[in-house]
Amino acid sequence: MTVESHAAQGTKGREDSNAFVAFDTVGVSGDAPLLSVRNLSVHYPIKRGFVVQREVARVRAVDGISFDIRAGETLGLVGESGSGKTTAAKAVIQLKKPDSGSIMFEGRELVGLSASAMRPIRRKMGMVFQDPYGSLNPRMRAGDIVGEPLKVHGLAESGDDYRSQVAALLSTVGLSPGMAERYPNEFSGGQRQRLGVARAIAAKPSLLILDEAVSALDVSIQAQILNLLQDLQEQYNLAYLFIAHDLSVVRHISDRVAVMYLGRIVETADSEDLYDRPLHPYTQALLSAIPTPNPIHERSRDRIILKGDLPSPMAPPSGCHFHTRCPIAADVCSLTDPELRRLAPNQAAACLLASGYETAVR
Ligand code: SF4
């Protein structure tokens, strides 16, 4: 499709089912997905008024995103702070009710389920948070923290069974069972994150949502936790939704990556393709910011510096939401809202000017 024909479409493209189909089929083959998210939107109304509160604006935190995750697969969800990644994750686990869209998990629609109907399903979805200090109750012993899901979901048959499951969970994440009696402040940052992982896998989930799970850790500890996550994935066929603001962290763990900007997915691809041939200017800018270990390459590295800050999701720019910061924006970009379109067999981007690699890819 030419730029002119996109312009003629105006904003129609995003409402068009083609955008959805283009994304839906990118990188997806084989078995039915474990998690299937379609056109998910989460908006926060802004209200004003003393006596009668009226909605005066809407923050479109998540604005019509779609993705699939298969059993044993990792999808990296990347974007700047404020791009909607965490809100999307909370909507998946139903901690935030979506305004529209569908979330199918293990063949069941989650949108609209009551809290009691969600409880047994939430057991199948573990979550690991960014802050290994703040996410553990400082007054609970490590064994009680890790064993809490076993109690909540009634997964231990006896006191002995409970203790042996806790000991097994601690060893699975590389901690000594003898540490069960310690409090969180007696652990290092990496060990605390191991406790967070042990708690997340205690109820034997099929999906883990890892929300900036390694971002607060030193680089060497990050590598250890990423290795642990990869081992656990192999052992238990776990699927991961791996959220990070840093593309370099996501690279080694993700099978596929989706890049978010202002509540939307602007590019998605198999991990290798995205890092080798980023098609969206935003992805190109994020990748150009990653330092290389080779000092010669590092000196000659061309960094793409984006202009300005992330615009407010309350009043996103017209046309392509990225046009105010895009280094290659053309006039048409402020008029036309690009749909996510397939540009290579395993890659789609929402950019009017991006061209594909159909002839160059496999
Ligand atoms: Fe940049 Fe235009 Fe592409 Fe948007 S549509 S990413 S502004 S070139």
Q: What is the pLDDT of residues 125-144, one digit of tens each?
A: 999 988 777 889 999 999 99
User: How many angstroms does the Cα of residue 320 sit away from the middle of ligand 1?
Assistant: 6
Judge if the beta carbon of residue 166 lies within 6 A of ligand 1. no
When mean pLDDT is compared across 25-39, 40-54, 165-179, 232-246, the lowest value belongs to: 25-39
Distance of CA 184 to the CA centre of its chain: 27
Confirm if 262 and 313 have CB atoms less than 8 A apart: yes
pLDDT reading at 178 higher than 90: yes
Confirm if 330 and 319 have CB atoms less than 8 A apart: no
What pLDDT score was predicted for residue 30? 54
User: What is the per-residue pLDDT across 81-123, written as a single tens digit (0 to 9) for each?
Assistant: 889 999 999 999 999 999 999 999 999 999 999 999 999 999 9
Identify the DSSP state of 293: S
CATH number for domain 3-124+205-349, candidates 3.90.870.10, 3.30.70.100, 3.40.50.300, 3.30.499.10: 3.40.50.300
Q: How far apart are the first and last CA of the chain?
A: 22
Q: What percent of the chain has pLDDT over 70?
A: 87
Tokens 């190109």 found at: 284
Tell me the pTM: 0.87
What pLDDT score was predicted for residue 227? 94
User: How many angstroms does the Cα of residue 258 sit away from the middle of ligand 1?
Assistant: 17
DSSP letters spanning 118-174: HHHHHTTEEEE-S-TTTTS-TTS-HHHHHHHHHHHTT--SSHHHHHHHHHHHHHHTT
Q: Given ligand 1 and candidates 307, 318, 323, which is best to mutate, with the most ligand atoms within 8 Å of its CB?
A: 323
pLDDT reading at 18 higher than 90: no
Amino acid at 233: Q
User: What is the per-residue pLDDT across 33-77, written as a single tens digit (0 to 9) for each?
Assistant: 999 999 999 999 888 887 788 888 889 999 999 999 999 999 999
Could you give the strand order of the β-sheet that contains 347-349, starting from the edge strand earlier in sequence?
A: 125-128, 207-211, 239-244, 74-78, 256-261, 264-270, 347-349, 341-344
Higher-pLDDT residue of 48 and 254 is 254
What pLDDT score was predicted for residue 6? 42
User: How many angstroms does the Cα of residue 334 sit away from the middle of ligand 1?
Assistant: 9
Label residue 302 by pLDDT band (50, 70, 90): confident
User: How many angstroms does the Cα of residue 361 sit away from the middle of ligand 1?
Assistant: 23
Q: What angle do CA 188, 194, 196 make, to 5 degrees?
A: 105
Give the nearest ligand 1 atom to 320 CA: 4
User: How many angstroms does the Cα of residue 232 sit away from the middle of ligand 1?
Assistant: 39
